[in-house]
Amino acid sequence: MTQSFDPPRRLTIMGSTGSIGTSTLDVIRQQGGRDCFEIMALTGNSNIALLAEQAITTGAKLAVTADETQYKALQDALSGHGIAVAAGASGLQEAASLEADWVMAAIVGVAGLKPTLTAAARGADIALANKECLVSAGDLFIETIRKSGGRLLPVDSEHSAIFQCLDERHRDAVERIVLTASGGPFRSFSREQMADVDVETARAHPNWSMGLKVSVGSASMFNKALEMIEAKFLFDLAPEQVEVIIHPQSIIHSMVGYTDGSVLAQLGVPDMRTAIGYALSYPHRQPLDVDRLDFARLSRLDFEAPDEKRFPALRLARQVLERGGLQGAVFSAAEEAAFDAFVAGHIRFLAMADVVEEVMDDMKHLPKANSLDDIFAADAEAHRRAKDCVSRKAL
């Protein structure tokens, strides 16, 4: 059964061609498709064939490629369909400005920051998959949402789990949140074993199917590090209230601990459509065709403490939480540059954390951000320093 909204809810999906974007379109299809929703804009980058197909199937009003060189290709692919076409940074801004009620922010990396802030500032509900937005510009982002009156709906599975377990009636009794982490493909590797791993091994996540950055980030635990910072801003927590536990089965997606000793957990099969569906239906729940947990076959749930020596990303995230200010923007930029360098074969897997730590230490005395310009300036400087550092560590 699907619920129809009257008039149809207007949706925009930024990053529709990615892993979260395609899952979002599947959830929309399952929950009523064109009968219930009007797609205002879809955005992608280089996969023009998929973007065009999505725009035609959903009847989107606007399709945007972030890659300006692909403008003509997108125009050709959509010719005769009555769908407006735009490209580049201004195209993303145009998509974010259209009057959608609900915007899925699923562009990867800091490229998603400006359009997501634009959509947030005009009061849209933001379904937030892009964690880099909050890591780079947490204070500004939360302030923008607060002023505009839109809702911030977490999509990252851990944060969706916390959102589902966090009982607003007992907000003052929240003692801690516990983010679960699968531990990724190198959970039981020594540092020596991690020294020579390649991109293909690093991206092979044991439980989740995801885009490249988040998959490699799961192997290095930089993804969990970003999520610790994301959680701080989403749920207004002190650094010591954010915990991480390794849970290899990825069945418990995260937990909230209360001052009376109770812990509430959200469980499910590892499928992002559940978190996306919750953000789309909130404050209700709608049926979804995803696999169900079979407890009789599960037999066990395991936990182990994270090892910050083998996975220094977690220690670095704690430093960001304690230092505050622009350290988040620096961390996010350095992590993105280090990830790009690893994927391009310029540095080894373990060098990613060395690059990030060096840039963070170099830039730890920056003042607090007052504007988006301050954040972009810190981002650009951290990228520059990370590149220097990469060239010194280059293979």
19 binds ligand NAD (CB under 6 A): yes
Site for ligand NAD in 21-40 (CB under 6 A): 21
Residues in the chain: 395
Least distance (Å) between residue 284 CB and ligand NAD? 22
Q: Is residue 354 within 8 Å of residue 362, measured between CB atoms?
A: no
- Residue 320 neighbours by CB distance under 10 Å: 26
Classify residue 148 as exposed, middle or buried by CB count within 10 Å of its CB (0-12, 13-18, 19+): middle
272 binds ligand NAD (CB under 6 A): yes
- With CB under 5 to 8 Å by kind, the binding choice for 62 among Mg ion, ligand NAD, none is none
132 binds Mg ion (CB under 5 A): no
Which C-beta is closer to Mg ion: that of 156 or that of 358? 156
336 binds Mg ion (CB under 5 A): no
The binder of ligand NAD chosen from 101, 156, 335, 379 (CB under 6 A): 156
Look up residue 149 and give its two tokens: 């009156």
Tabulate helix, strand, coil % of the chain (nearest 5).
Answer: 50, 15, 35
Residues 6+ apart with CB under 8 A from 344: none
Residues 6+ apart with CB under 8 A from 89: 66, 114
Report the DSSP beta bridge partners of residue 254: 179, 266
C-alpha–C-alpha distance, residues 218 and 244, integer Å: 13
Which C-beta is closer to ligand NAD: that of 130 or that of 274? 130
Kindly list the distances between the CA atom of residue 321 and the CA atoms of 13, 47, 228, 296, 314, in Å, as whole numbers in the listed order. Answer: 30, 36, 8, 40, 11
Which C-beta is closer to Mg ion: that of 221 or that of 334? 221
**Sign of the dihedral defined by the CA atoms of residues 365, 370, 374, 375, in that order:** positive
Which C-beta is closer to ligand NAD: that of 106 or that of 145? 106
Least distance (Å) between residue 3 CB and ligand NAD? 25
Query: What's CA 70's distance to the chain center, in Å?
Result: 25
125 binds Mg ion (CB under 5 A): no
Which C-beta is closer to Mg ion: that of 205 or that of 393? 205
The binder of ligand NAD chosen from 17, 54, 70, 327 (CB under 6 A): 17
Site for ligand NAD in 330-389 (CB under 6 A): none
Between 199 and 238, how does the x/- string for binding to ligand NAD read (CB under 6 A)?
Answer: ---------x-xxx-x------------------------
Site for ligand NAD in 108-127 (CB under 6 A): 108, 111
Site for Mg ion in 149-178 (CB under 5 A): 156-158
The binder of ligand NAD chosen from 75, 130, 160, 332 (CB under 6 A): 130
Tell me the CA end-to-end span of the chain in Å, nearest whole number. 56
Identify whether 248 is preceded by a cis peptide bond (ω within 30 of 0). Answer: no
Least distance (Å) between residue 163 CB and ligand NAD? 13
Site for ligand NAD in 59-88 (CB under 6 A): 66
Residues that bind Mg ion (CB under 5 A): 156-158
Residues that bind ligand NAD (CB under 6 A): 15-21, 44-45, 66, 106-108, 111, 129-132, 156, 208, 210-212, 214, 272
